[in-house]
Chains A and B, each alone.
Chain A
Amino acid sequence: MNFFNAVVLSAILLFSTALHAVGVKDTYLGIGSYTSLPGKVQTNDSGDTNGIFELEPYILGGAEFQIYKDWSAFAEAGFVKPGSGRDPKITKMNYFFLFSGAYNFMDWVFKLGAGLSYTRISSEGGVQTLNNGTTTTDFPMPDAAVVSQNIITTLGVEYYFHQEISAKLEGHYFNLESSEGNALSYTLSVSYHFGNIFDPSQRKSKK
């Protein structure tokens, strides 16, 4: 899937949100940080690894749908700010679409869900001259964009410290079904809640 399709999918999400004018309980936008594979990636030749928290800015948007009493469902999209890979010639981008069931308890929301996480890697080709044995060789560089698509399992907790503002911690677990390639990434975010934007009488009724 390319970036265009991601935009289309977001549009679909927003559209479906609009369609939920009646059933929707809340809509929200937020900003936060996405930390990928905390502590698992070697970052120098001495064996040190990346940090437990790394600031990779991301934006999110989503909607909450009333299901039954304290139970609700969430649809959410997140886009991590595109950046370079370990080296500046590789461009990386992450985005994800999440669907969760949630239990609301006082000012807290506990979420369990699934989603699709995308990792897009691209470069503009060419070669780079690198040491190779006792000489140097021109190694080809990737010249296309590739998107890896993972199903993730998500677990999150959100706290409303105001009826319109909440903070959320959510883990993205990769390859739950397998004993290999397991990985955890997570988001920390703050969201502003608009309530039911389609029905003003329902606004501010969130918490």
Chain B
Amino acid sequence: MRSLITLLCFLHVSSSFAFSLNNTVSASFSQNEVVVNVADNCTNLGVSSSEILSMVSDGASQFWNTVSTSRMRLRAGSVVTVDSKFYNEKICNSNTGSCEPNTNLTVGSGVLITCNGETTTNFPASQRTVLAITIPNNISGTTIVGALVAINDRSDNVFQDKSRAQMVSIIAHELGHAVGLGHSPVTDSLMYYTLVPVRDSLGWDDIDGITYLYPKEQPFGCGTISQVDSKAAGFAFMLILLFPLIWFQLRKLVLRFLHSAS
């Protein structure tokens, strides 16, 4: 398994292709409801941890939870106290393109949003404008068990300069990474790598991406998903719907045949 680090900042990007994933195994959470907790360790963001938690809730209902074809729903959890390592340590042991997660910061379940002020590897002066680093740092097979969102808490961070609406979209973007998405090349996507002038709703690339990772499986889906289940379930459901029609008509035909034969 190779996980790729995902960042968010303010550079231009040339046009490219599709929604992407933030790991090479198309990993996703197995449960439908992913709980997002917020650590109470932020000092330089200009907003409290409980305000960030309410932004999680707003971002979920404005963006990810609106997708009809996705089974995944984000839930704002609670403000939690975490080990100081989450503030002081680097997110990735190596940071050259791909990320080898620091196992001291493994998130046991769901998503943890923490502030981080580590300025050697995570957020050096040259990376001052990077808003956050997000990595699903607890992956088992193709299942994301836990993911970490580390918000840049340098005293000169640029998060604090944003409007509340922008903060909501930044957090929603990072949560997109936390649940398995990479960046999108198109500006109408929330998963575009930087803020755009107006962010009101998801773009098609976001919707396609989250649907790809979390396809809805009504009426049979119940958390663990595989394509095989989906095929069988769809087929079974159609047969159930069609069975009465087929039965009655077959019966009619048989009776008719017997009648004409006699």
- Complex formed: what's the CA distance from A132 to B96 in Å? 12
A115: nearest chain-B partner, CB-CB = B241
Chain B positions 212 through 238: 1 when the CB is less than 8 Å from some CB of chain A, otherwise 0 = 100111110100000100110111011
- Complex formed: what's the CA distance from A49 to B201 in Å? 8
- Complex formed: what's the CA distance from A116 to B6 in Å? 36
Indicate the size class of the contact surface on chain B.
35 or more
Q: Are B197 and A131 in contact (CB under 8 A)?
A: no
- The 8 Å CB contact of B127, one of A9, A134, A144, is A134
Q: Are A130 and B20 in contact (CB under 8 A)?
A: yes
Chain A interface, number of residues (Cβ within 8 angstroms): 71
- The 8 Å CB contact of A86, one of B67, B208, B211, is B208
* Contacting residues of chain A (130-180) with chain B, CB-CB under 8 angstroms: 130-135, 137-151, 174-175, 180
Query: Which of the 9-residue segments A25-33, A117-125, A188-196 touches chain B?
Result: A117-125
Q: Are B227 and A147 in contact (CB under 8 A)?
A: yes
- Complex formed: what's the CA distance from A49 to B246 in Å? 44
CB B91 to nearest CB in A, in angstroms, measures 12
Given contacts A16-B242, A128-B16, contact A5 B235 (CB under 8 A): yes
Contact of A201 with B by CB under 8 A: no
* Contacting residues of chain B (1-48) with chain A, CB-CB under 8 angstroms: 4-9, 11-13, 16-24, 26
- The 8 Å CB contact of B182, one of A45, A130, A180, is A130
Chain A interfacial positions (CB closer than 8 Å to B): 1-2, 5, 8-9, 12-13, 15-16, 19-23, 37, 40-47, 49-50, 65, 75, 85-90, 92, 97, 99, 116, 118-119, 121, 123, 127-135, 137-151, 174-175, 180-183
A-B pairs with beta carbons under 8 Å apart, 10 shown? A12-B238, A16-B246, A19-B249, A22-B249, A49-B201, A75-B245, A87-B17, A130-B185, A149-B221, A181-B65
Q: Name the 9 nearest CB pairs between A and B, nearest first.
A: A133-B7, A47-B198, A139-B20, A45-B196, A1-B234, A19-B249, A183-B68, A139-B182, A174-B68
